[in-house]
Amino acid sequence: VFTVAMSPNTQLWIYDTTLRDGAQREGLSLSVEDKLNIARRLDDLGIPYGVGSNGPRAKMEITLGQNGLWERLKDRMVSAHDGIPAKPAPDIYLKLADLLGADPARCVVVDDSPSGAKGGIAAGCQVIAFAERTPAALLDPLGVPVARSMSQVAAMMGVADDQDGAV
């Protein structure tokens, strides 16, 4: 069993939203259903997961609350705003692994930022860089697998329902 530590910008998280001056969400990624399906699949497999973010909890509550994930994740998140050094320091992912009762070496970090991926590497976790919106050219030099879709993330984690990577 492994644990999944993630950035709110990746995996399940609907971060194609633009929140300006308290404005309503402007749009969802086409992969929203895939992101939600990964959460369901991890639940079905009994694989713990959580969120590690440099952002404040209030922002995560807005973002995750719009798709029903806040209630599922509110007790499984770590924020740099909790007084923990921000990514690329490993502290967020180390704290999240501890919160989930997992050995960091058995954790998979999925992050769409170079600093987040570097934090996962520094924490001794397995890392998948997520290039849905982040240019792959910024992630490729990190020397970790780069996924360009949620189906690829699921396949790389070995949690896809079928051989095509569908979740």
| pLDDT of 24 strictly over 60 | no
Give pLDDT tens digits for 57-66: 998 888 778 7
Those residues whose C-beta lies under 8 Å from the C-beta of residue 2, and which sit 6 or more positions away, are: 47, 102, 106, 107, 108, 126, 157
Mean pLDDT of the chain: 78
pLDDT given for residue 166 in this prediction: 52
**Cis before 104 (ω within 30):** no
Token pair 């530590």 is found at 5
Those residues with Cβ within 8 angstroms of residue 86's Cβ, 6 or more apart along the chain or in another chain: 54, 80, 92, 115
